[in-house]
Amino acid sequence: MDLILWRHAEAEEGTPDSARELTKRGHKQARQIAAWLKERLPANRAILVGPSKRTRQTADALDLPYESTKNVGTGATPDDVLSAAGWPTRDGAILVVGHQPTLGDVAARILCVHGDAGLAIKKGALWWFSCRPRHGGDVVLRAVIGPDLV
């Protein structure tokens, strides 16, 4: 199984939080990561996106169908995200477009980072994990990439 965590791109300030839109720079970040992802996403995949405007706009850059769910939204916990994703036993790949600090906490849990501090995921960046059942459930961090690197 592949689990790809994609933090929404740069968004405007303001309220309500759920209505914040991507900035011009945020749209560019989303397009850059989307172009990189489209060349690499497996055919057997699902995409889960938080319901906020900025996560949906980030995912829209892929131009692929997705499911919007609060289970990966701003109020989600790492357990919510991992459960919605089916980690680590789901077949194929799952792309989750969500928020910090939740995605950083998910990454920290997968990498067995202990303590209260999660990991910081830069706006627009993605972290790609694979769980290899044939190898005893080994977890491989396949990629960490930000929009400034593509």
**Residue 37: which CATH number?**
3.40.50.1240
Supply the range of the domain harboring residue 30: 2-149
Q: Express each pLDDT in 45-97 by its tens digit.
A: 999 999 999 999 999 999 999 999 999 999 999 999 999 999 999 999 999 99
Q: Express each pLDDT in 124-148 by its tens digit.
A: 999 999 998 776 778 999 999 999 9
pLDDT score at 3: 98
Q: What is the mean pLDDT of residues 30-57?
A: 97
User: CA-CA distance, 48 to 65, in Å (whole number)?
Assistant: 9
Helix residue ranges, H only, 18-52: 24-38
Q: How many CB atoms lie within 10 A of CB 22?
A: 25
Pairing of strands 126-132, 2-7: antiparallel
pLDDT score at 117: 65
Backbone angles phi, psi at 59, to 5 degrees: -65, -35
User: CA-CA distance, 122 to 8, in Å (whole number)?
Assistant: 9
Domain count, the chain: 1
Residue 49 near residue 24 (C-beta atoms within 8 A): no
Residue 20 near residue 52 (C-beta atoms within 8 A): yes
* pTM of structure: 0.94
